[in-house]
Structure 1
Protein backbone atom coordinates (compact mmCIF):
# COMPACT_ATOMS: atom_id res chain seq x y z
CA UNK A 1 0.00 0.00 0.00
CA UNK A 2 1.20 3.51 -0.89
CA UNK A 3 1.76 5.26 2.47
CA UNK A 4 1.77 8.69 0.83
CA UNK A 5 -1.62 8.03 -0.73
CA UNK A 6 -2.86 6.72 2.61
CA UNK A 7 -1.63 9.89 4.31
CA UNK A 8 -3.48 12.00 1.73
CA UNK A 9 -6.64 9.98 2.31
CA UNK A 10 -6.38 10.61 6.06
CA UNK A 11 -5.80 14.31 5.45
CA UNK A 12 -9.00 14.56 3.39
CA UNK A 13 -11.00 12.44 5.86
CA UNK A 14 -9.82 14.50 8.83
CA UNK A 15 -10.82 17.81 7.23
CA UNK A 16 -14.02 16.55 5.64
CA UNK A 17 -13.30 17.55 2.06
CA UNK A 18 -10.66 17.95 -0.65
CA UNK A 19 -10.86 21.76 -0.63
CA UNK A 20 -10.37 22.13 3.13
CA UNK A 21 -7.57 19.56 3.14
CA UNK A 22 -5.84 21.29 0.23
CA UNK A 23 -5.97 24.68 1.94
CA UNK A 24 -4.69 23.24 5.21
CA UNK A 25 -1.80 21.38 3.58
CA UNK A 26 -1.03 24.02 0.93
CA UNK A 27 -1.34 21.45 -1.86
CA UNK A 28 -3.42 21.34 -5.05
CA UNK A 29 -6.92 19.97 -4.64
CA UNK A 30 -6.57 18.01 -7.88
CA UNK A 31 -3.49 16.21 -6.54
CA UNK A 32 -5.27 15.08 -3.41
CA UNK A 33 -8.26 13.90 -5.43
CA UNK A 34 -6.04 11.93 -7.78
CA UNK A 35 -4.10 10.33 -4.93
CA UNK A 36 -7.28 9.23 -3.16
CA UNK A 37 -8.69 7.83 -6.41
CA UNK A 38 -5.49 5.84 -6.90
CA UNK A 39 -5.78 4.45 -3.37
CA UNK A 40 -9.40 3.45 -4.00
CA UNK A 41 -8.36 1.73 -7.23
CA UNK A 42 -5.55 -0.19 -5.53
CA UNK A 43 -7.86 -1.33 -2.72
CA UNK A 44 -10.82 -1.84 -5.05
CA UNK A 45 -12.96 0.02 -2.52
CA UNK A 46 -14.91 3.27 -2.57
CA UNK A 47 -13.70 5.30 0.43
CA UNK A 48 -15.82 8.43 -0.03
CA UNK A 49 -19.38 9.14 -1.13
CA UNK A 50 -18.94 12.10 -3.46
CA UNK A 51 -22.58 12.96 -4.20
CA UNK A 52 -23.96 16.34 -3.11
CA UNK A 53 -22.01 19.12 -1.44
CA UNK A 54 -20.75 17.10 1.53
CA UNK A 55 -18.01 14.50 1.24
CA UNK A 56 -18.80 11.52 3.45
CA UNK A 57 -16.78 8.45 4.34
CA UNK A 58 -18.20 5.12 3.29
CA UNK A 59 -18.34 2.34 5.88
CA UNK A 60 -15.07 0.97 4.50
CA UNK A 61 -13.54 4.44 4.43
CA UNK A 62 -14.45 5.09 8.05
CA UNK A 63 -12.92 1.76 9.11
CA UNK A 64 -9.70 2.55 7.23
CA UNK A 65 -9.54 6.06 8.71
CA UNK A 66 -10.05 4.83 12.27
CA UNK A 67 -7.40 2.12 11.97
CA UNK A 68 -4.72 4.03 10.08
CA UNK A 69 -5.10 7.64 11.24
CA UNK A 70 -3.63 7.00 14.67
CA UNK A 71 -0.77 4.93 13.26
CA UNK A 72 0.20 7.64 10.79
CA UNK A 73 0.11 10.25 13.56
CA UNK A 74 2.41 8.10 15.68
CA UNK A 75 4.85 7.73 12.77
CA UNK A 76 4.89 11.50 12.32
CA UNK A 77 5.42 12.05 16.05
CA UNK A 78 8.24 9.50 16.18
CA UNK A 79 9.99 11.16 13.25
CA UNK A 80 9.54 14.61 14.81
CA UNK A 81 10.91 13.39 18.15
CA UNK A 82 13.98 11.89 16.51
CA UNK A 83 14.55 15.02 14.45
CA UNK A 84 14.34 17.21 17.55
CA UNK A 85 16.78 15.03 19.45
CA UNK A 86 14.38 13.58 21.99
CA UNK A 87 10.83 13.32 23.29
CA UNK A 88 10.33 17.07 23.71
CA UNK A 89 6.61 17.90 23.44
CA UNK A 90 5.86 19.62 20.15
CA UNK A 91 3.12 19.87 17.57
CA UNK A 92 -0.61 20.47 17.99
CA UNK A 93 -2.54 19.25 21.03
CA UNK A 94 -6.33 19.35 20.64
CA UNK A 95 -8.45 19.01 23.79
CA UNK A 96 -12.20 18.92 24.37
CA UNK A 97 -13.34 19.84 27.90
CA UNK A 98 -16.66 20.44 29.69
CA UNK A 99 -17.93 23.99 29.42
CA UNK A 100 -17.92 24.81 33.15
CA UNK A 101 -14.41 23.45 33.73
CA UNK A 102 -13.24 25.32 30.62
CA UNK A 103 -14.73 28.58 31.91
CA UNK A 104 -13.31 28.10 35.40
CA UNK A 105 -9.84 26.66 34.86
CA UNK A 106 -8.78 25.92 31.28
CA UNK A 107 -7.68 29.45 30.44
CA UNK A 108 -5.16 29.46 33.27
CA UNK A 109 -4.16 25.82 32.66
CA UNK A 110 -3.61 26.48 28.96
CA UNK A 111 -1.55 29.61 29.58
CA UNK A 112 0.71 27.86 32.09
CA UNK A 113 1.12 24.89 29.75
CA UNK A 114 2.03 27.20 26.84
CA UNK A 115 4.77 28.79 28.96
CA UNK A 116 6.20 25.38 29.85
CA UNK A 117 6.02 23.95 26.32
CA UNK A 118 6.31 26.72 23.73
CA UNK A 119 6.66 24.19 20.88
CA UNK A 120 3.16 22.83 21.51
CA UNK A 121 0.20 24.54 19.84
CA UNK A 122 -2.68 23.97 22.26
CA UNK A 123 -6.29 24.10 21.04
CA UNK A 124 -9.06 23.76 23.67
CA UNK A 125 -12.77 23.53 22.88
CA UNK A 126 -15.24 23.97 25.74
CA UNK A 127 -18.40 21.93 25.16
CA UNK A 128 -20.60 19.46 27.02
CA UNK A 129 -21.18 16.92 24.23
CA UNK A 130 -19.24 13.67 23.92
CA UNK A 131 -16.98 14.19 20.92
CA UNK A 132 -15.73 11.42 18.63
CA UNK A 133 -12.00 11.59 19.33
CA UNK A 134 -10.89 9.80 16.18
CA UNK A 135 -13.23 11.43 13.69
CA UNK A 136 -12.79 14.92 15.14
CA UNK A 137 -9.03 14.50 15.66
CA UNK A 138 -8.88 15.25 19.40
CA UNK A 139 -5.79 14.09 21.30
CA UNK A 140 -7.36 14.30 24.76
CA UNK A 141 -10.87 14.73 26.15
CA UNK A 142 -11.95 15.71 29.64
CA UNK A 143 -15.29 14.24 30.67
CA UNK A 144 -17.50 14.29 33.75
CA UNK A 145 -18.40 10.85 35.16
CA UNK A 146 -17.81 9.12 31.80
CA UNK A 147 -19.43 5.79 31.02
CA UNK A 148 -17.04 2.84 30.57
CA UNK A 149 -15.59 2.86 27.05
CA UNK A 150 -13.29 0.10 25.85
CA UNK A 151 -11.75 2.40 23.25
CA UNK A 152 -10.63 4.99 25.83
CA UNK A 153 -8.30 4.93 28.82
CA UNK A 154 -7.17 7.65 31.19
CA UNK A 155 -7.20 8.85 34.75
CA UNK A 156 -9.43 10.71 37.18
CA UNK A 157 -7.78 13.97 38.21
CA UNK A 158 -10.43 16.00 40.02
CA UNK A 159 -13.44 15.44 42.28
CA UNK A 160 -16.30 17.73 43.20
CA UNK A 161 -19.63 17.43 45.01
CA UNK A 162 -23.02 19.09 44.75
CA UNK A 163 -24.41 21.22 47.58
CA UNK A 164 -27.56 23.25 48.15
CA UNK A 165 -26.89 26.90 48.98
CA UNK A 166 -28.95 30.02 49.54
CA UNK A 167 -28.58 33.67 50.41
CA UNK A 168 -28.40 34.50 54.14
CA UNK A 169 -31.57 36.53 53.60
CA UNK A 170 -33.47 33.53 52.22
CA UNK A 171 -35.46 31.75 54.91
CA UNK A 172 -35.32 27.99 54.97
CA UNK A 173 -38.74 26.43 54.43
CA UNK A 174 -40.77 24.77 57.13
CA UNK A 175 -41.00 20.99 56.98
CA UNK A 176 -42.75 19.93 53.78
CA UNK A 177 -43.01 23.45 52.39
CA UNK A 178 -41.34 23.88 48.97
CA UNK A 179 -38.41 26.22 48.67
CA UNK A 180 -38.08 28.59 45.70
CA UNK A 181 -35.31 27.16 43.54
CA UNK A 182 -33.12 28.11 40.58
CA UNK A 183 -32.54 25.09 38.34
CA UNK A 184 -30.93 24.32 34.99
CA UNK A 185 -33.02 24.54 31.84
CA UNK A 186 -32.09 20.96 31.01
CA UNK A 187 -30.94 18.07 33.13
CA UNK A 188 -32.53 18.85 36.50
CA UNK A 189 -36.06 17.42 36.67
CA UNK A 190 -36.40 16.55 40.37
CA UNK A 191 -39.19 18.13 42.44
CA UNK A 192 -37.18 17.44 45.59
CA UNK A 193 -33.56 17.67 46.63
CA UNK A 194 -32.27 14.76 48.68
CA UNK A 195 -29.67 15.89 51.25
CA UNK A 196 -27.24 13.81 53.28
CA UNK A 197 -27.70 13.74 57.03
CA UNK A 198 -26.37 11.59 59.93
CA UNK A 199 -29.77 9.89 60.22
CA UNK A 200 -30.11 9.25 56.49
CA UNK A 201 -31.18 11.29 53.44
CA UNK A 202 -33.74 14.04 54.00
CA UNK A 203 -35.73 15.70 51.26
CA UNK A 204 -36.47 19.33 50.51
CA UNK A 205 -39.37 20.07 48.17
CA UNK A 206 -38.47 22.62 45.50
CA UNK A 207 -40.47 25.11 43.45
CA UNK A 208 -38.45 25.93 40.28
CA UNK A 209 -39.21 29.64 39.92
CA UNK A 210 -36.24 30.27 37.62
CA UNK A 211 -34.54 28.13 34.98
CA UNK A 212 -31.12 29.08 33.65
CA UNK A 213 -28.75 27.40 31.20
CA UNK A 214 -25.44 27.51 33.07
CA UNK A 215 -24.16 26.93 36.59
CA UNK A 216 -22.44 30.36 36.89
CA UNK A 217 -25.77 31.97 36.00
CA UNK A 218 -27.49 29.91 38.72
CA UNK A 219 -24.83 30.92 41.25
CA UNK A 220 -25.31 34.61 40.44
CA UNK A 221 -29.09 34.30 40.80
CA UNK A 222 -28.71 32.52 44.14
CA UNK A 223 -26.30 35.24 45.29
CA UNK A 224 -28.99 37.80 44.46
CA UNK A 225 -31.28 36.10 46.97
CA UNK A 226 -34.08 35.09 44.61
CA UNK A 227 -33.98 31.38 45.48
CA UNK A 228 -31.82 28.46 46.58
CA UNK A 229 -29.70 26.46 44.15
CA UNK A 230 -27.87 23.18 43.69
CA UNK A 231 -24.23 23.86 42.73
CA UNK A 232 -20.72 22.34 42.82
CA UNK A 233 -18.96 23.16 46.07
CA UNK A 234 -15.89 24.39 44.13
CA UNK A 235 -18.02 27.07 42.47
CA UNK A 236 -19.39 28.50 45.72
CA UNK A 237 -16.73 27.79 48.36
CA UNK A 238 -15.45 31.39 48.33
CA UNK A 239 -19.00 32.72 48.66
CA UNK A 240 -19.57 30.40 51.61
CA UNK A 241 -16.34 31.50 53.29
CA UNK A 242 -17.23 35.17 52.77
CA UNK A 243 -20.75 34.73 54.11
CA UNK A 244 -22.42 35.66 50.81
CA UNK A 245 -24.07 32.22 50.70
CA UNK A 246 -25.17 29.69 53.32
CA UNK A 247 -24.61 25.94 53.04
CA UNK A 248 -27.92 24.09 53.43
CA UNK A 249 -26.47 20.62 52.92
CA UNK A 250 -24.76 18.18 50.53
CA UNK A 251 -26.76 16.48 47.81
CA UNK A 252 -27.07 12.75 48.49
CA UNK A 253 -25.40 11.58 45.28
CA UNK A 254 -22.01 10.27 44.12
CA UNK A 255 -19.25 12.84 43.73
CA UNK A 256 -18.65 14.43 40.36
CA UNK A 257 -15.37 13.13 38.89
CA UNK A 258 -13.43 14.62 35.99
CA UNK A 259 -11.42 12.23 33.82
CA UNK A 260 -8.74 12.90 31.21
CA UNK A 261 -9.16 10.30 28.45
CA UNK A 262 -7.35 9.29 25.26
CA UNK A 263 -7.65 6.40 22.77
CA UNK A 264 -6.52 3.10 24.29
CA UNK A 265 -4.92 1.86 21.09
CA UNK A 266 -2.70 4.89 20.79
CA UNK A 267 0.83 5.18 22.11
CA UNK A 268 0.84 8.13 24.48
CA UNK A 269 2.49 11.08 22.76
CA UNK A 270 4.93 13.35 24.58
CA UNK A 271 2.51 16.28 24.46
CA UNK A 272 -0.41 14.26 25.90
CA UNK A 273 1.85 12.90 28.64
CA UNK A 274 3.00 16.44 29.38
CA UNK A 275 -0.57 17.73 29.71
CA UNK A 276 -1.58 14.83 31.97
CA UNK A 277 1.37 15.66 34.23
CA UNK A 278 0.35 19.33 34.07
CA UNK A 279 -3.10 18.40 35.40
CA UNK A 280 -1.56 16.26 38.15
CA UNK A 281 0.64 19.10 39.34
CA UNK A 282 -2.25 21.59 39.26
CA UNK A 283 -4.53 19.29 41.28
CA UNK A 284 -2.25 16.88 43.21
CA UNK A 285 -5.01 15.71 45.57
CA UNK A 286 -7.90 16.25 43.16
CA UNK A 287 -10.13 17.93 45.75
CA UNK A 288 -12.82 20.61 45.28
CA UNK A 289 -10.79 22.95 47.51
CA UNK A 290 -7.83 22.68 45.10
CA UNK A 291 -10.04 23.65 42.17
CA UNK A 292 -11.53 26.57 44.10
CA UNK A 293 -8.06 27.79 45.11
CA UNK A 294 -6.75 27.37 41.56
CA UNK A 295 -9.41 29.57 40.00
CA UNK A 296 -9.19 32.26 42.71
CA UNK A 297 -6.47 34.39 41.10
Structure 2
Protein backbone atom coordinates (compact mmCIF):
# COMPACT_ATOMS: atom_id res chain seq x y z
CA UNK A 1 0.00 0.00 0.00
CA UNK A 2 1.41 3.37 -1.04
CA UNK A 3 0.96 6.10 1.54
CA UNK A 4 -0.95 9.24 0.54
CA UNK A 5 1.20 12.27 -0.30
CA UNK A 6 0.50 14.14 2.99
CA UNK A 7 1.51 11.05 4.99
CA UNK A 8 4.70 10.64 2.95
CA UNK A 9 5.51 14.32 3.44
CA UNK A 10 5.06 14.10 7.22
CA UNK A 11 7.17 10.94 7.30
CA UNK A 12 9.97 12.78 5.47
CA UNK A 13 9.77 15.75 7.83
CA UNK A 14 10.06 13.39 10.78
CA UNK A 15 13.06 11.68 9.17
CA UNK A 16 14.94 14.92 8.52
CA UNK A 17 14.21 16.36 11.95
CA UNK A 18 16.16 13.51 13.62
CA UNK A 19 14.99 14.38 17.14
CA UNK A 20 11.37 13.62 16.30
CA UNK A 21 11.94 10.91 13.71
CA UNK A 22 14.46 8.82 15.63
CA UNK A 23 12.65 8.81 18.96
CA UNK A 24 9.60 6.85 20.04
CA UNK A 25 7.52 9.83 18.92
CA UNK A 26 8.47 9.27 15.29
CA UNK A 27 7.63 5.58 15.33
CA UNK A 28 4.28 6.10 17.02
CA UNK A 29 3.27 8.87 14.62
CA UNK A 30 4.30 6.79 11.61
CA UNK A 31 2.34 3.78 12.80
CA UNK A 32 -0.78 5.95 12.88
CA UNK A 33 -0.30 7.33 9.36
CA UNK A 34 -2.12 5.89 6.34
CA UNK A 35 0.09 3.54 4.38
CA UNK A 36 2.14 2.17 7.30
CA UNK A 37 3.49 -1.16 5.97
CA UNK A 38 1.53 -4.11 7.29
CA UNK A 39 2.89 -6.32 10.04
CA UNK A 40 4.12 -9.76 8.98
CA UNK A 41 1.27 -12.23 9.16
CA UNK A 42 1.06 -14.51 12.24
CA UNK A 43 3.26 -17.56 11.74
CA UNK A 44 5.13 -15.86 8.88
CA UNK A 45 8.35 -17.62 9.88
CA UNK A 46 6.98 -21.05 10.75
CA UNK A 47 9.50 -23.69 9.74
CA UNK A 48 12.24 -21.15 9.01
CA UNK A 49 15.61 -20.63 10.65
CA UNK A 50 16.87 -17.13 11.45
CA UNK A 51 20.23 -16.18 12.94
CA UNK A 52 20.71 -13.14 15.20
CA UNK A 53 24.15 -11.99 16.35
CA UNK A 54 24.55 -10.00 19.54
CA UNK A 55 21.45 -11.80 20.80
CA UNK A 56 22.20 -11.56 24.52
CA UNK A 57 21.31 -7.91 25.14
CA UNK A 58 19.23 -4.96 24.03
CA UNK A 59 18.03 -4.98 20.47
CA UNK A 60 19.31 -8.52 19.98
CA UNK A 61 17.01 -9.92 22.65
CA UNK A 62 14.01 -8.02 21.28
CA UNK A 63 14.81 -9.12 17.74
CA UNK A 64 15.14 -12.77 18.74
CA UNK A 65 11.91 -12.65 20.72
CA UNK A 66 10.01 -10.98 17.88
CA UNK A 67 11.22 -13.57 15.38
CA UNK A 68 10.34 -16.42 17.73
CA UNK A 69 6.82 -14.98 18.09
CA UNK A 70 6.45 -15.31 14.31
CA UNK A 71 7.36 -19.00 14.46
CA UNK A 72 11.04 -18.96 13.54
CA UNK A 73 13.67 -21.24 14.95
CA UNK A 74 15.96 -18.51 16.24
CA UNK A 75 19.69 -19.07 16.49
CA UNK A 76 21.10 -16.80 19.19
CA UNK A 77 24.74 -16.06 18.37
CA UNK A 78 26.54 -14.68 21.42
CA UNK A 79 30.05 -14.16 22.71
CA UNK A 80 29.21 -14.98 26.36
CA UNK A 81 27.52 -18.39 26.51
CA UNK A 82 26.46 -18.07 30.15
CA UNK A 83 24.74 -14.75 29.51
CA UNK A 84 23.25 -16.09 26.30
CA UNK A 85 21.88 -19.11 28.14
CA UNK A 86 20.10 -16.87 30.63
CA UNK A 87 18.59 -14.85 27.79
CA UNK A 88 17.45 -18.00 26.00
CA UNK A 89 15.74 -19.22 29.16
CA UNK A 90 14.09 -15.83 29.74
CA UNK A 91 12.69 -15.74 26.20
CA UNK A 92 11.48 -19.32 26.53
CA UNK A 93 9.70 -18.44 29.80
CA UNK A 94 7.92 -15.53 28.13
CA UNK A 95 7.16 -17.55 24.99
CA UNK A 96 6.50 -21.19 25.82
CA UNK A 97 7.16 -23.31 22.77
CA UNK A 98 9.69 -20.90 21.27
CA UNK A 99 12.38 -22.69 19.25
CA UNK A 100 15.75 -21.30 20.33
CA UNK A 101 19.31 -22.50 19.81
CA UNK A 102 22.40 -20.99 21.36
CA UNK A 103 25.73 -20.61 19.57
CA UNK A 104 29.00 -19.05 20.67
CA UNK A 105 30.93 -16.74 18.34
CA UNK A 106 33.14 -13.68 18.74
CA UNK A 107 32.01 -11.73 15.68
CA UNK A 108 35.09 -9.50 15.80
CA UNK A 109 37.48 -12.47 15.47
CA UNK A 110 37.38 -13.59 11.85
CA UNK A 111 38.92 -16.97 12.63
CA UNK A 112 36.21 -17.62 15.20
CA UNK A 113 33.56 -16.49 12.71
CA UNK A 114 34.82 -19.02 10.19
CA UNK A 115 34.87 -21.74 12.88
CA UNK A 116 31.30 -20.89 13.86
CA UNK A 117 30.06 -20.78 10.25
CA UNK A 118 31.55 -24.22 9.57
CA UNK A 119 29.85 -25.68 12.66
CA UNK A 120 26.56 -23.92 11.97
CA UNK A 121 26.48 -24.82 8.29
CA UNK A 122 27.08 -28.49 9.04
CA UNK A 123 23.95 -28.58 11.23
CA UNK A 124 21.57 -26.06 9.63
CA UNK A 125 21.08 -26.70 5.91
CA UNK A 126 18.80 -23.74 5.15
CA UNK A 127 18.85 -20.26 6.67
CA UNK A 128 16.02 -17.86 5.90
CA UNK A 129 17.74 -14.76 7.30
CA UNK A 130 20.84 -13.55 9.12
CA UNK A 131 20.48 -10.41 11.21
CA UNK A 132 23.86 -8.91 12.01
CA UNK A 133 23.08 -7.03 15.19
CA UNK A 134 26.24 -7.44 17.29
CA UNK A 135 27.73 -4.09 18.24
CA UNK A 136 30.55 -2.54 20.26
CA UNK A 137 31.79 0.91 21.21
CA UNK A 138 35.11 0.40 23.02
CA UNK A 139 36.20 3.31 25.26
CA UNK A 140 39.63 3.43 23.63
CA UNK A 141 41.00 2.17 20.33
CA UNK A 142 41.06 -1.61 20.47
CA UNK A 143 42.01 -4.20 17.89
CA UNK A 144 40.52 -7.52 16.89
CA UNK A 145 42.54 -10.73 16.80
CA UNK A 146 43.44 -9.90 13.19
CA UNK A 147 44.61 -6.37 14.05
CA UNK A 148 41.60 -4.39 12.83
CA UNK A 149 39.93 -1.57 14.74
CA UNK A 150 37.31 -3.35 16.82
CA UNK A 151 34.21 -1.39 15.80
CA UNK A 152 34.96 -2.02 12.13
CA UNK A 153 35.71 -5.68 12.78
CA UNK A 154 32.43 -6.31 14.63
CA UNK A 155 30.14 -4.16 12.48
CA UNK A 156 31.47 -4.96 9.02
CA UNK A 157 34.27 -7.52 8.70
CA UNK A 158 32.70 -10.22 10.88
CA UNK A 159 29.26 -9.94 9.24
CA UNK A 160 30.78 -10.10 5.76
CA UNK A 161 32.88 -13.17 6.59
CA UNK A 162 29.91 -14.88 8.26
CA UNK A 163 27.56 -14.20 5.38
CA UNK A 164 30.12 -15.26 2.81
CA UNK A 165 30.72 -18.54 4.63
CA UNK A 166 26.97 -19.20 4.91
CA UNK A 167 26.05 -18.36 1.33
CA UNK A 168 24.96 -21.94 0.55
CA UNK A 169 22.60 -21.95 3.51
CA UNK A 170 21.35 -18.42 2.79
CA UNK A 171 20.59 -18.99 -0.90
CA UNK A 172 17.24 -17.32 -1.58
CA UNK A 173 17.29 -15.74 1.88
CA UNK A 174 17.89 -12.37 3.48
CA UNK A 175 20.66 -10.50 5.25
CA UNK A 176 20.07 -7.51 7.53
CA UNK A 177 22.88 -5.26 8.76
CA UNK A 178 21.90 -3.26 11.83
CA UNK A 179 23.43 0.15 11.25
CA UNK A 180 22.98 3.50 13.00
CA UNK A 181 21.65 6.93 12.22
CA UNK A 182 24.99 8.12 13.58
CA UNK A 183 26.51 7.20 10.22
CA UNK A 184 24.91 10.36 8.76
CA UNK A 185 27.55 12.41 10.60
CA UNK A 186 30.47 10.72 8.84
CA UNK A 187 31.88 10.42 5.37
CA UNK A 188 33.49 7.24 4.05
CA UNK A 189 37.06 7.13 5.38
CA UNK A 190 38.48 4.79 2.77
CA UNK A 191 41.92 6.23 3.52
CA UNK A 192 41.82 5.11 7.16
CA UNK A 193 39.34 2.26 7.71
CA UNK A 194 41.17 1.04 10.81
CA UNK A 195 41.23 4.50 12.42
CA UNK A 196 45.00 4.72 12.78
CA UNK A 197 45.18 8.48 12.18
CA UNK A 198 44.29 11.26 14.59
CA UNK A 199 42.84 11.14 18.09
CA UNK A 200 40.50 8.19 18.59
CA UNK A 201 36.87 8.94 19.42
CA UNK A 202 34.60 5.99 20.29
CA UNK A 203 31.39 7.55 18.86
CA UNK A 204 33.25 8.57 15.70
CA UNK A 205 34.72 5.09 15.24
CA UNK A 206 31.26 3.60 15.70
CA UNK A 207 29.71 5.97 13.16
CA UNK A 208 32.54 5.44 10.66
CA UNK A 209 32.04 1.69 10.75
CA UNK A 210 28.31 2.14 10.21
CA UNK A 211 28.97 4.49 7.28
CA UNK A 212 31.24 1.83 5.78
CA UNK A 213 28.44 -0.76 6.17
CA UNK A 214 26.03 1.39 4.20
CA UNK A 215 28.52 2.41 1.50
CA UNK A 216 29.47 -1.23 0.89
CA UNK A 217 25.84 -2.35 0.86
CA UNK A 218 25.28 -2.14 -2.94
CA UNK A 219 28.52 -3.97 -3.67
CA UNK A 220 27.75 -6.73 -1.18
CA UNK A 221 24.20 -7.00 -2.51
CA UNK A 222 25.51 -7.39 -6.03
CA UNK A 223 27.96 -10.10 -4.96
CA UNK A 224 25.39 -12.08 -2.97
CA UNK A 225 22.66 -11.67 -5.58
CA UNK A 226 24.35 -14.55 -7.39
CA UNK A 227 22.75 -16.73 -4.68
CA UNK A 228 19.47 -14.79 -4.77
CA UNK A 229 20.23 -13.27 -1.36
CA UNK A 230 18.66 -9.89 -0.62
CA UNK A 231 20.61 -7.51 1.62
CA UNK A 232 19.36 -4.58 3.67
CA UNK A 233 20.80 -2.17 6.19
CA UNK A 234 18.59 -0.48 8.76
CA UNK A 235 18.92 1.87 11.66
CA UNK A 236 16.77 1.46 14.78
CA UNK A 237 16.49 5.12 15.73
CA UNK A 238 17.45 6.25 19.21
CA UNK A 239 16.86 3.25 21.47
CA UNK A 240 17.65 2.89 25.15
CA UNK A 241 20.09 0.03 24.65
CA UNK A 242 22.83 -1.14 27.02
CA UNK A 243 25.35 0.35 24.58
CA UNK A 244 23.77 3.80 24.90
CA UNK A 245 23.52 3.43 28.68
CA UNK A 246 27.20 2.48 29.03
CA UNK A 247 28.87 4.53 26.28
CA UNK A 248 26.69 7.64 25.92
CA UNK A 249 25.43 8.45 29.43
CA UNK A 250 25.17 12.21 28.78
CA UNK A 251 23.14 11.69 25.62
CA UNK A 252 20.89 9.25 27.47
CA UNK A 253 20.36 11.67 30.34
CA UNK A 254 19.18 14.36 27.91
CA UNK A 255 16.93 12.14 25.80
CA UNK A 256 15.83 9.30 28.08
CA UNK A 257 12.13 10.20 28.05
CA UNK A 258 12.12 10.06 24.24
CA UNK A 259 14.26 6.97 23.63
CA UNK A 260 12.67 3.91 22.06
CA UNK A 261 12.49 0.67 23.95
CA UNK A 262 14.25 -2.40 22.55
CA UNK A 263 11.15 -3.77 20.81
CA UNK A 264 10.58 -0.45 19.04
CA UNK A 265 14.20 -0.35 17.93
CA UNK A 266 14.04 -3.95 16.66
CA UNK A 267 10.79 -3.51 14.73
CA UNK A 268 12.29 -2.89 11.28
CA UNK A 269 14.82 -5.73 11.54
CA UNK A 270 12.01 -8.16 12.28
CA UNK A 271 9.86 -6.71 9.51
CA UNK A 272 12.68 -6.97 6.96
CA UNK A 273 13.21 -10.63 7.86
CA UNK A 274 9.55 -11.63 7.84
CA UNK A 275 7.52 -9.47 5.45
CA UNK A 276 6.49 -10.89 2.08
CA UNK A 277 7.58 -10.44 -0.58
CA UNK A 278 11.17 -9.75 0.37
CA UNK A 279 11.94 -6.02 0.31
CA UNK A 280 14.15 -4.75 -2.55
CA UNK A 281 17.84 -5.41 -2.04
CA UNK A 282 20.64 -2.89 -1.30
CA UNK A 283 18.49 -0.28 0.47
CA UNK A 284 18.87 1.53 3.80
CA UNK A 285 15.76 1.34 6.01
CA UNK A 286 14.28 3.07 9.03
CA UNK A 287 10.78 2.52 10.37
CA UNK A 288 9.88 0.18 7.48
CA UNK A 289 10.73 2.75 4.79
CA UNK A 290 13.77 3.05 2.54
CA UNK A 291 15.80 6.15 3.41
CA UNK A 292 18.57 8.16 1.74
CA UNK A 293 22.12 7.39 2.87
CA UNK A 294 23.17 11.05 2.88
CA UNK A 295 21.41 14.05 4.39
CA UNK A 296 24.07 16.62 3.50
CA UNK A 297 26.31 16.80 0.39
CA UNK A 298 29.53 16.79 2.42
CA UNK A 299 29.14 13.11 3.37
CA UNK A 300 28.72 11.82 -0.19
CA UNK A 301 31.42 9.35 -1.23
CA UNK A 302 32.72 9.24 -4.79
CA UNK A 303 33.32 6.07 -6.78
CA UNK A 304 37.06 6.23 -6.18
CA UNK A 305 36.58 6.16 -2.41
CA UNK A 306 34.12 3.27 -2.67
CA UNK A 307 36.55 1.33 -4.86
CA UNK A 308 39.36 1.89 -2.36
CA UNK A 309 37.12 0.83 0.53
CA UNK A 310 35.97 -2.26 -1.35
CA UNK A 311 39.55 -3.29 -2.09
CA UNK A 312 40.39 -2.98 1.61
CA UNK A 313 37.28 -4.95 2.60
CA UNK A 314 38.05 -7.71 0.10
CA UNK A 315 41.62 -7.99 1.35
CA UNK A 316 40.65 -7.92 5.03
CA UNK A 317 37.93 -10.58 4.67
CA UNK A 318 39.50 -12.73 1.96
CA UNK A 319 36.68 -12.20 -0.55
TM-score (norm 1): 0.25
- Higher helix proportion, which one? 2
Specify the structure having the higher radius of gyration (Cα): 1
- Higher strand proportion, which one? 1
